[in-house]
Structure 1
Amino acid sequence: MPKSTDYAAKLPDSSGHIAYDAAEDSVWHDLMARQMPSVQQRMASPYLNGLAQLRLPTDRVAQCAEVTEALRATTGWRVEPVPALIVFWRFFALLADRCFPAASFIRRREHFDYIEEPDIFHEIFGHAPLLTDARFAGFSHAIGQAGMRAEKVDYAWLIRLYWFTIEFGLTREKGVLKGLGSGLASSIAELQWATSGQPELRPFDVIDILRTPYRIDILQPVYFVIEDLDDLFAAAQRDLLADVATARALGLHAPKYPPKAV
């Protein structure tokens, strides 16, 4: 997560409605129009099924309140608008409460193709579809519960399991590599890259994931492929803090990316 942002949170009114202007609605429309063909071709069916259930608007920014209404009818989750940047403990606490924190601003035109911090398009278009599925929602809930029990030094280790699955996980359908995670669904460049056969693909393994460093500001050099989604859901039943302790004892893998320029 970036340490600072040029964006300010947009606050909801007493009814939960956030006022977006015409320019912001236009950015949402254009992001949807650009992303949908790639998503329909390259994303996995659990994501696509969830997206269809949400029936997101195409002509304006989706409201957290209306997405919450759709999620409560399926898995009981809700979406809560938050500032662009929140600390790990709050993120885990919200997941443990079956609430997804959504940065409430939408990117400006100059950041249309890439924005380092998550915006409302990433949060709603990327994350909300999988939260309509009780199995994926249960996995996110388990991450939150583990985070609430974790020590601060464990946070960066635990979040890697979320990063390489819910954010950037891959799977296969009828032998075809498909995107699963929200970071893929909301980024046309990342989704095409991840499914191109060029980056390194590793089998899903909790300990391996916990030991794999990442950067948020580049296309990922490594992705994990969840061949059987039941393996992911089973991970929600593991003692994840014991897994973190095992990973810490083994140490991080050498990064597959260059160091970030200062």
Structure 2
Amino acid sequence: MNLSGKSKIPKILQTDQSQLLTDWISEQITAGIRKDLIKEIELREECREFLDLFSASVQQGNFTDIKSTEWRSVREMLGSISRSRSQKGFTPTETATFVFSLKQPLFSRLRLELAQDSESLLEEIWSVTTLLDKLGLWTTESYQKAREEVILRQQEELMELSTPVVKLWEGILALPIIGTLDSARTQVMMESLLQKIVETGSEVAIIDITGVPTVDTLTAQHLLKTVTAARLMGADCILSGIRPQIAQTIVYLGVDLADVITKASLCDAFALALKRTGATISRAQTRT
């Protein structure tokens, strides 16, 4: 619907913006805006800026297609508000209320303008309702996307933290793995290990799976890929943490680890790594 020629909404937004702003903020406070998460002065500034952009878009007469170029600035602002509020701790409902709470102030101004024309009043209210519903849904979708981006980033950070590459000795690295292995985590793990091999010029990399609860065929394949990648970078790999039950599982699955050096513990693997690098360990003699 294009109401640019007869709608009272563009006029109301231009001439009554100050009163609309006051009523809109009051409506949000009544709805229970989280004052612990946003200051009233910040809320007022957001509302004022939104009304300016909203009014400019409405003047174009396009009340239906919020994805058009006329509504780009409004969409961008709502996207920014959604991201900001998701980070501050607002819920999706609280975030969408920013848009939906504008309905009542607009309805009130329309009733004053069209008190003698009930048919036009219904048309205008329907137009405003449809428009703000679409913008509210856009706000909710933007909030969800922002949350998904945060969750994805946190997952990536957790994967990096859960696969630390530690320098045990000159030329010796250790990669302790805790938890299950999937393709995404294996990729992060290999990248971290290979980068560290390049940075340190290490000759031996110990991959410790003491913290891996179970080993299936897929997990074994991921481990073999990591070993192969490290070898291509010039580092020998030692697989440690092979507990009896994991050894039995590997044999049962028929996984071929014949070319991989394995040790029962990280301690044994470290001792072997020291020998491979030419280092020796001796006990200090106790003074009598």
Structure with higher Rg: it is 2
Per the shorter chain, which TM-score range?
under 0.3
Higher relative contact order, structure no. (Cα contacts within 8 Å, ≥ 6 residues apart): 1
Scaled by the length of structure 1, the TM-score of the pair is: 0.26
- Name the structure with the higher helix share: 2
Scaled by the length of structure 2, the TM-score of the pair is: 0.25
